[in-house]
Amino acid sequence: MPRKSALLLSLFNLMFKPVSGQTKASSTQLVELPPHPPAHDREAWRVYWQAQGQPWRTEPEIDNERQVYLAGRRAISPDIEHGIYPFKGVKLNRADVEWLLATHENGRGPVMNWRDESQRSRDGLDLRGADLRGEDLSLLPLSRMLAGLRFYEWEKATPEQRDWASAHLENCNLF
């Protein structure tokens, strides 16, 4: 239980860190966000995310337990040789991917425009091995997402290693 509490505290610190140009009065003072809309009110969530500067989000926020779980998974270091990836075998839905994008690189957020030279050195989400079958991921900023091995990794990998790294995108809407 202490480990889970520490992960939750780290997650909250990440979520409430000051935005560039803002300051905190103290390290214990949290930035207050507007209240979340009701889970069933899709239009209210759309407006909420627009106000948060995340117009690509459409789903209600995932619960704290799921956030802690996904943050823990994201901390797993990939190992191509042994087929270890943060989300290998994990079923992710759109709300999960939205949260992962919003919190990508310690809150830096998604790679929004691969044409922007300042973002070309960044990797997008590492979704290698994830199960995204049947999900609607349309209009999400998935630039530079890792859903398999890079070319130079692919050449050296065995067929089994290539399979381990492949994200399952069957019937996934990536429009």
User: Higher-confidence residue: 67 or 2?
Assistant: 67
Count of structural domains, the chain: 1
173 pLDDT band, cuts 50/70/90, is very high
Give me the chain's average pLDDT, please.
82
Asked whether residue 118 is assigned to any structural domain, the reply reads yes
Annotate 30-57 with DSSP letters as a single string: PPPPPPPPPTT-HHHHHHHHHHTT-TT-
Range of the domain at 19: 2-165
pLDDT digit string (tens) for 69-87? Answer: 999 999 999 998 999 999 9
Asked whether residue 175 is assigned to any structural domain, the reply reads no
Number of C-beta neighbours around residue 99 at 10 A: 20
Asked whether residue 172 is assigned to any structural domain, the reply reads no
25 secondary structure, DSSP code: S
Number of C-beta neighbours around residue 171 at 10 A: 10
pLDDT digit string (tens) for 128-157? Answer: 999 999 999 999 998 888 888 888 888 998
pTM score above 0.95: no
Asked whether residue 174 is assigned to any structural domain, the reply reads no
User: Higher-confidence residue: 35 or 101?
Assistant: 101
State both tokens at 83. 């087929």
